[in-house]
Amino acid sequence: MKPETNRREFFRKAAVLTGAFSVNSLCQQVFAADLAAKSQLYKNVSPGRMAENEDFWAFIQQGYPASSSPVLNLNNGGVSPSPQLVLDAVERYNQMSNQAPSYYMWRILDQGREPLREKLALLGGCDPEELAINRNATEALNTIIYGLDLEKGDEVIGCKQDYPNMMQAWSQREQREGIVYKQISFDFPIEDDETIVNAYRQAITPRTKIIHVTHVINWVGQIMPVKKICQMAHDKGLEVIVDGAHSFGLLDFDIPDLEADYFGTSLHKYLSAPIGTGMLWVKKDKISKVWPLLCNGDPRSADIRKFETLGTRSFPLEQGIGEALNFHNGIGAKRKEERVRYLKNYWAEKALTIPGVKIHTSLKAAYSCAIAGVSVTGLTPQELGQQLLSKYKIHTTSISYGNINCVRVSPHVYTRTADLDRFVLALSRLATENGNQNIESKGA
């Protein structure tokens, strides 16, 4: 190998390991070293037991400015805040870019995309040649929804509890091209995979081509048996699109293990990457047949980069993903999943003891992680959400949609158990104020 090639290879590897385009400040280096030391200290403790280790999580909380926000943010499922080191990195890239935008963005930061792709692929357990970096799950999934060739009368099966942006995209194809978009409906929580798989199976007809499934249902946090749905669909010659907006960076899994054909996600949810970042995974042999959503010189190419002709966008945000990956890897994927699930169970199990409070989500590990829905007898979801905010400065999201009526609550790794105690106390007071002293509480 020539010395020049050697050097380039060295920098490429270093970039993959340290952050796609690392601009480590002293502060970041100190934090990273402390995080590594903490991890080392607990290296023999299982992720399940680590979920309760407040020493470790107190350290993680310090990494997030959001942990000291005056408003308690319990809507991390909507969009999550970034740790300080991600914010710092974006700020530096931004400062740099604004010195001479076209030079720094297109000649310098642009060089970070390939190492970043590799780094994301390490987390996704997949081939980097199957990953396109974009701005959010909507962009990723709309790329697939609009990019697949379908004929008039071809059927797509989704469910009423999928995400609106994707349902609207399918409806638009229905209106414009005459495809048939069929929606089944679930009464969550469901603690039985076969009930879910069967519902999709029964909706299949000879005209069905695609199943669209949401990995974690955003409304109530139900984890769907995606792999089983994919296996059933493939047996019948169908393709499966997976909306992983709420799973990637939270649940510890390899994307190919889902056995889907397409997977789209945001990175600004549980990964805590900069707001406005997303990712698309397409199974290698399917890339060439998907038309890019935005122009590309070779739309039938088998190169995943054809989905990245997005025009001018924020390269600082994109490169900030590398620091979010460092932070995530520093915690450890399984530890993070177990901690967030622990936090959800921590508040939900206490809430279940309050008269008049109902939990709308299964608390079994296989069926939920971060998100749970809650309601209080005597209050609409809107009233409950509004009173949590105005009286207790607790931000949640209120849902009245079809058969779902609850307030959605989603903590993150930076949420303290003391914050959740405050939330449970607020629930208890609101329940009492609304005459629930003698009413039984109800679990999912």
Residues that bind ligand PLP (CB under 6 A): 78, 136-138, 163, 165, 214, 218, 243, 245-246, 266
- For residue 220, the 8-state DSSP code is T
Minimum distance between the CB of residue 248 and ligand PLP, rounded to whole angstroms? 11
Are 281 and 241 in contact by the 8 Å Cβ rule? The answer is no
Task: Return the axis-axis angle of helices 137-147 and 164-177, rounded to nearest 10°.
Answer: 20
CB closer to ligand PLP out of 143 and 387: 143
Smallest gap, in angstroms, from Cβ of residue 66 to ligand PLP?
Answer: 18
Residues 174 and 168: their CA atoms lie apart, in Å, by: 10
- Between CA 253 and CA 296, with CA 243 as vertex, the angle to 5 degrees is 110
Q: Are 218 and 165 in contact (CB under 8 A)?
A: no
Walk across the sheet containing 262-266 and list its strands: 131-134, 278-282, 262-266, 239-243, 208-214, 155-159, 180-184
Comparing CB distances to ligand PLP, the nearer of 227 and 422 is 227
> Residue 156 CB, nearest distance to ligand PLP (Å)?
16
User: Is the CB of 6 or the CB of 400 nearer to ligand PLP?
Assistant: 400
Q: In the complex, what is the shortest distance from the CB of residue 273 to ligand PLP, in angstroms, rounded to a whole number?
A: 11
| Shortest Å distance, C-beta 197 to ligand PLP | 19
The H-or-E segment that residue 405 falls in is strand 404-409
Q: Amino acid letter at 217?
A: I
Task: Between 266 and 415, name the residue whose CB sits nearer to ligand PLP.
Answer: 266
- Comparing CB distances to ligand PLP, the nearer of 51 and 217 is 217
> Contact at 8 Å (CB) between 159 and 186?
yes
Buried b (16+ CB within 10 A) or exposed e, 365-398: eebbbbbbbbbbbebebeebbebbeeebebebbb
> Taking the complex as a whole, how short is the minimal distance between the CB of residue 278 and ligand PLP, in angstroms?
6
Q: How far is the CB of 294 from ligand PLP (least distance, A)?
A: 15
Specify the 3-state DSSP secondary structure of 132.
Answer: strand
Please tell me the distance from the alpha carbon of residue 6 to that of residue 381, in angstroms, as a whole number. 60
User: Least Å distance between CB 98 and ligand PLP?
Assistant: 25
The beta strands (E) that lie in 260-387 are given as 262-266, 278-282, 357-359, 372-376
C-alpha span between 262 and 253 (Å, rounded): 15
Say if CB 318 and CB 133 are below 8 A apart. Answer: yes
Residue 346 and residue 421: Cα distance in Å, rounded?
Answer: 9
| CB 137, min distance to ligand PLP, A | 4
Closest to ligand PLP by CB, 61 vs 214, is 214
Q: How far is CA 102 from CA 99, 251, 321, 345, 436, in A?
A: 9, 37, 20, 48, 62
Q: Which is nearer to ligand PLP, 32 or 337 (CB)?
A: 337
- CB of 77 or CB of 112, closer to ligand PLP: 77
* Residue number with CB closer to ligand PLP (368 or 436): 368
Pick 121 or 399: Cβ nearer ligand PLP: 399
Least separation in angstroms between CB 17 and ligand PLP: 28
